[in-house]
A and B are shown apart, each in its own frame.
Chain A
Amino acid sequence: MRLLQLIGRVVLTFLGTTGRLALFAGAGFSHCVRPPFYPRIIVRQMVDIGYYSLPVVGLTAIFAGMVMALQTYTGTSRFSAESAVANIVVLALTRELGPVLAGLMVAGRIGASLAAEIGTMRVTEQIDALTTLSTNPMKYLVAPRLIAGVVMFPVLVLIADIIGVFGGYVVAVYKLGFNASIYIQNTYNFVQAEDVISGLVKAAVFGVIVTLMGCYHGYHSKGGAQGVGTATTNAVVSACILILAFDYILTEMFFGT
């Protein structure tokens, strides 16, 4: 009996949260397309999400590319297929590692800071203050961040792809003794628009996930500093899990048979 009660409660909580999240997302997106717009805030968020994430995304990408080259080399050399290193590196980066690693890193950075910022605004009544000052908080706080996320994540991932391929190139050429021009040729000839575009679509979805989780958990935080802390943790954890889950779903959609 206890067990049934517990299962029931878990299921109800899950359904309730999903429903609330869906309503929140719907409201957020509907405000993205209805005036007034806040270009000033959108630009500031784009700079925050895009420009200031460059170091962390760049470093992640370059090491990912480097380690990919090293690992595929050890793998492929066992059956003397070393020439496939360039192909595997670029494929792995554009399809998977670029979007997923960049998404996870930015989830930590942006998901946390959005949840903390909006959560603090909630517990210090700043969100209530917005309402009393003729401003819809969903429109003013959530919509600009969703837009910035959707736009900037693909940009970041494109940059991550390029830097990652460069990392692989450096290791392949300077450490493993590949011929530089052949490596570039191999990369260039092998990669297809589909690989890159699927990665960018994933990035856009991850952008929604990260900003939505940050905003949602911040918006619904309660109970002072501790509540904001919990919101921050929940935002990052849920964003990371959703990124991995949606990565699978999207891969299945793009490449599944």
Chain B
Amino acid sequence: MELTGAEILVQCLKEEGVEYLFGYPGGAVLHIYDALYKQDDVKHILVRHEQAATHAADGYARSTGKPGAVLVTSGPGATNAVTGIATAYMDSIPMVVITGQVPTSLIGNDAFQECDSVGITRPIVKHNFLVKDIKDLAETMKKAFYVATSGRPGPVVVDVPKDVTGQSAEYSYPKEISMRSYNPVSKGHVGQIKKAVELILSAKKPMIYSGGGVILGEGCQQLRDFTQKLGYPITNTLMGLGAYSATDKQFIGMLGMHGTYEANMSMHHCDVLIAIGARFDDRVTGNLEKFCPDAKILHVDVDPASISKTVKVDVPIVGEVVEVLEALIAGIDTSESKVDTPALEKWWQQIDVWRAQDCLKFDTESDKIKPQAAIQKVYELTNGEAYVTSDVGQHQMWAAQYYKFDEPRRWINSGGLGTMGFGLPAAMGVQLAHQDKTVVCITGECSIQMCIQELATCLQYGLPIKILNLNNGFMGMVRQWQEFFYDKRYSESVMSVAPNFVALAEAYGHVGIRVEDPKDLDAALDEAFNKHKDRLVFIDVITDPDENVYPMVPAGAGLNEMVLV
């Protein structure tokens, strides 16, 4: 079948099962937009800024496990998408981004809207391609989806010059693809599994530390089986929340800079650390010299480069999380050794002492709205079942601490890059993927303004997202650091001029609610979540501006040196 390059691209997206293509048109991609116009299988979602297209595709991918798809034009279209590509890269999110390019004959001439998209995105993609010959187009798209979704996932950019989309060629989509230079591992090494089982069962003070990799690798059920079989305590990273049920008694909270006291103390004092799909990020480990001083470490990861990158491990296993956990479970079942139950009981007693500190308690009598209370209330109203996206700052940490995720893919946040502006567009992708589910965007008045224009997109596609704007009048997280480490010199962190968010929401055709008095909080949230179920509601919650995120591991400290309040 002879098709134009533009038609081939659309056909490839169909073959890959792409439901939504998030994008924004421009000169270099007009052929592609014309091809999109002539079909209904791939639905195009017109964002208001290309950054939002990448975040929306990212939210779609995080909440479904399927790759996100993006289409932007050359030059400024591609550069606007860069933040979203980097965000996806840092959190290993599968995504294929098609960028238009000037015609091949003009490449290198500083042509109108030309930029070296492949060069600019190289350090923030898993891989990228420039397609100079239409004969390579279909195969390149196949490779792009394969690379984006296999092994450790990540974004892939396909840069397509305009003339390539205009020419015609014979089309057939490859059913299978193999690349001699790319062979992600799946099964863990048998010898290592044996060693790992022995180490796991030798523990007197064990700790399971799991991250986003378990969710990306669809290994949550195996993680639950593994953890429950052993009876060991488990902590999740910011990216791993929901992989293990937050309301289960073996779960001792998130770890790291704003993790729970019990999780961080257990990390510090454990004798065997079982790390699964986590990468020992600096926000997790605190001071590396003081990290898990007495522990032997087992690390399971699909990416060999994650192993012993920052923390030396004793037993590394490279493989897909599902296969490795299943092998470990089988190994535990058949091993001569057994869990040391008396030692484990003692360990739990110690953990319960740490738990009794109740490190997440907060003032419930205040005459100002406490952000924690607002999140708890949303948790109750949504039965803990909402999809929650967030931006970056204090509100993000509170959301992670106070919304207890029992299921994976419900907590959607930019953990690695920490991108303000992520929350609202990500929520669009989530809501499109889960039309009958409640989607909440927990944000701050500074973050939300970074992609506020997407309120128009939400109206266009009827996305009833609930925006919980925890409005403290500050770049709260910046203010907190300035309070602690810069003697309260609040340099440029005061958001003294913010819009009237209620009027703004209404101007965009949505519902706006403002609440300032703790007494009115329940009613306001009830109105937002129940009365206006089918509309986007912007809930502007005026919160206590002095509230800080606790507990906290100060920079340079060990995990056992938390500041509690």
Q: Do A and B come from one complex?
A: no
